[in-house]
Structure 1
């Protein structure tokens, strides 16, 4: 099952985000194939202010645990985040030609 993690950063938190980012990226590498894709939301000045990650997990509980383990969540880069079940319906590379 796929889950989207939709996160909003702390206000004026770019410096903190950038300080935690190397640890966050190392964490994402440990997810291997469970990480489908990820990236920041950008403001009008091209500065990150949140994140979208799509992960594969066996349950909502597992997905929530994975989100909570992210250094951006643990180190309070995120002001808030939510985990939602998600279906990749359009342009899914695993379903092309079907």
Structure 2
């Protein structure tokens, strides 16, 4: 079963703020590094609840997360690039393991 999350990024101006929002929404662990590799690692574990890298987990290896990013018109290029690049890295990692994409990103103004 797929899950859907909506993010309001309209007040997110920096990559540091993006990491804070994502840590809060996804329930990343206290040791989350607030950087790109840590984000990719946490999101890559969405299908693996035993990793304990996110409070939000998917129920099966073929489930996907539909991530609706709202308010992008007010975000910096760095924020948008970080978000898109992280989703791409997570999905590429899944494909290397012969799995479908983990995150389907929906971009809204």
Asked if TM exceeds 0.5, the reply is no
- Structure with higher helix content: 2
- Structure with higher strand content: 1
Whichever of the two has the greater Rg, that structure is 1
Report the TM-score, using the length of structure 2 for normalisation. Answer: 0.29
Report the TM-score, using the length of structure 1 for normalisation. Answer: 0.31
